[in-house]
Amino acid sequence: MNHLQLVLSGLFVGSFYALVALGYSMVYGIIKLLNFAHGDLYMLGAFAGFIVLSVGAGALGGGFIALIAIMIVAMIATGGFGMLLERVAYRPLRSAPRLSVLITAVGASFALEYGIAVGFGPTPEVYPIGVQDGTLHIANAQITYAQLAMMAIAVTLMVALDTIVRKTRSGRAMRAISQDPKACLLMGVNVDRVISRTFFIGSALAGAAGVMAGAYYGKIDFLMGFIIGLKAFTAAVIGGIGNLRGAVLGAIVLGLLESFGGAYLGSEWRDVFAFCFLILFLTVRPTGLLGERVTERV
């Protein structure tokens, strides 16, 4: 068994799980909604990238510049759609019971999946991106430069997000809303606008992950977001839902678990393995690895 190889693939898969899990966790943190359509935004990102590739394949050429350009377009498109989803489907239900919003999210998920199925057909599309040039060999393991580049992009996005949330005025407002949205109104925070922004950022990250997945697996289909949505949820729970660094940690742990679990038990057991961990964490440590550490005085 080539352990280094397993670590490398675990980290790669973990890095794009992390991008999806971050959005999941952000949205949960700010409006306490498990956005079941989040995985479908990732799928939408992959399709946005696919459209750009199909239309501008010649103009863009191959290589990393093209990959980055496609990612940016996909992120903006997916982010915009995420905002629209919030505006149309979730905002009108802001004061409705939690369950109504949850059911709406499930509905939105189906609408996105079968909407794309109608538009593009149910058969998988081949992702026409050609960045398979060159492979880096480390000891007896290997990783393509394309994968390395995508991981670097993922890490850059995560660091940027972390900085935004920790250091900026917007980020402060996001954290404050996740604690007490009503008090935020009294601070003069336009809560609706901050929530919109949160959806944009979270969805854009999922869009980036969608492009990465398309480039990595080589094909995309309208249901690709379903399982990744559940995986991102698992990652967010492992890390401690609502906690952004936790989501990244959970995603990497999950990526590695899957990679090793798949190698030792057979790859058909990969998803079983992942969801067993979800159940394990939900029963044994529902606050996750980095759950609330704060002591509050009343």
List residues binding other proteins (CB under 8 A).
169, 172-173, 175-176, 179-180, 182-190, 294-297
Q: Quick one: 130 or 181, whose CB is closer to other proteins?
A: 181
Calculated CA dihedral for residues 223, 162, 236, 104, nearest 10 degrees? -50
CA–CA separation, 128 and 146 (whole Å) = 14
CB 293 → other proteins: shortest distance, Å? Answer: 10
Q: Shortest Cβ distance from residue 243 to other proteins (Å)?
A: 11
Confirm if 236 and 244 have CB atoms less than 8 A apart.
Answer: no
> Rounded to the nearest whole angstrom, what is the least distance from the CB of residue 183 to other proteins in the complex?
4
Of 134 and 188, nearer to other proteins (C-beta) is 188
**Which C-beta is closer to other proteins: that of 284 or that of 298?**
298
Residue 99 or 294 having the CB closest to other proteins: 294
d(CA 249, CA 256): 11
At closest approach, how far in Å is the CB of 175 from other proteins?
Answer: 6
In whole angstroms, the minimum distance from the beta carbon of 298 to other proteins comes to: 9
- Cβ closest to other proteins, residue 152 vs residue 183: 183
Instruction: Compare residues 176 and 289 and give the one whose CB is closer to other proteins.
Output: 176
Closest to other proteins by CB, 164 or 176 = 176
Tokens of 80: 């915009």
> Count of CB atoms within 10 A of residue 140's CB?
9
Q: Of 91 and 270, which CB lies nearer to other proteins in the complex structure?
A: 91
Supply angle C-alpha 152, 38, 289, rounded to 5. Answer: 65
Which letter, b or e, does each residue of 22-41 get, where b requires 16 or more Cβ atoms within 10 Å of its Cβ? bbbbbbbbbbebbbbbbbbb
Among residues 49, 43, 45, 51, the alpha carbon closest in space to that of 109 is found at 43
How many residues comprise the chain? 298
Helix/strand/coil for 262: helix
In the complex, the smallest distance separating the C-beta of residue 164 from other proteins, rounded to whole angstroms, is: 14
**E strands in the chain:** 125-126, 135-138, 141-144, 219-220
Measured from the CB of residue 179, what is the shortest distance to other proteins in angstroms? 5
The maximal CA–CA distance of the chain, rounded, in angstroms, is 63
C-alpha span between 28 and 42 (Å, rounded): 17
Q: Tell me the closest approach of the beta carbon of residue 296 to other proteins, in angstroms.
A: 4
